[in-house]
Amino acid sequence: MSIPPSAPRRRQSPTAAELRAWRLFIETSEQVKNVVAARLQNDAGLSTGDYGVLLALSEHPEKRMRSSLLAEHIGWERSRLSHHLGRMERRGLINREPVAGDSRGAEIALTVVGAQLFRAGSAPHLHAIRDVFSRALSPEQLASLEDVMRTLREHVDDLPH
């Protein structure tokens, strides 16, 4: 018996193998992220959020960005970023500066202290990435993982939101 085209299709649940792979992906990626984040905090006194903001600002030619562009760049909701920037500003890592001609706009500027802390934390952070992530995999495994992750990202980007 065939199903008429207008009838709703039943969604198929993941197979046992798909669920094992999913769970391993989630658990392992969280564990790797947590170990790298702990090392960043211990070695540099930076959270991964701090590092992401400082990285984005340090890569920008003017070392400053509008807060809306920064939120988009690091993939955060604007309210989350605003709260985080407040904490970073109190620590002297960034400054919020008004945008000329736009009373509601603000630019986030990297301070000298923020740039120094970012530079000091980058080498230990990169070493942690190598120790925790890269060293566990052969060059072939890294290439395969990159291919898989690129395919997965493209798939997710193509999904309706």
Mean of pLDDT values over 68-96 = 95
Mean of pLDDT values over 147-151 = 97
* Residue 67 near residue 109 (C-beta atoms within 8 A): no
Neighbouring C-alpha atoms within 13 Å toward the C-beta of 56: 23
Q: Give the domain 38-158 fold.
A: Arc Repressor Mutant, subunit A (1.10.10)
Beta strands in 18-160 (DSSP E): 64-66, 94-99, 102-110
For residue range 8-48, list pLDDT tens digits in order. Answer: 667 899 999 999 999 999 999 999 999 999 999 999 999 99
Rounded Cα distance, 125 and 58, in Å: 15
Token representation of residue 91: 């620590």
Beta-bridge mates of residue 110: 94
Mean of pLDDT values over 82-100 = 94
16-30, 92-106, 133-147 — which is least confidently predicted? 92-106
Rounded Cα distance, 18 and 36, in Å: 27
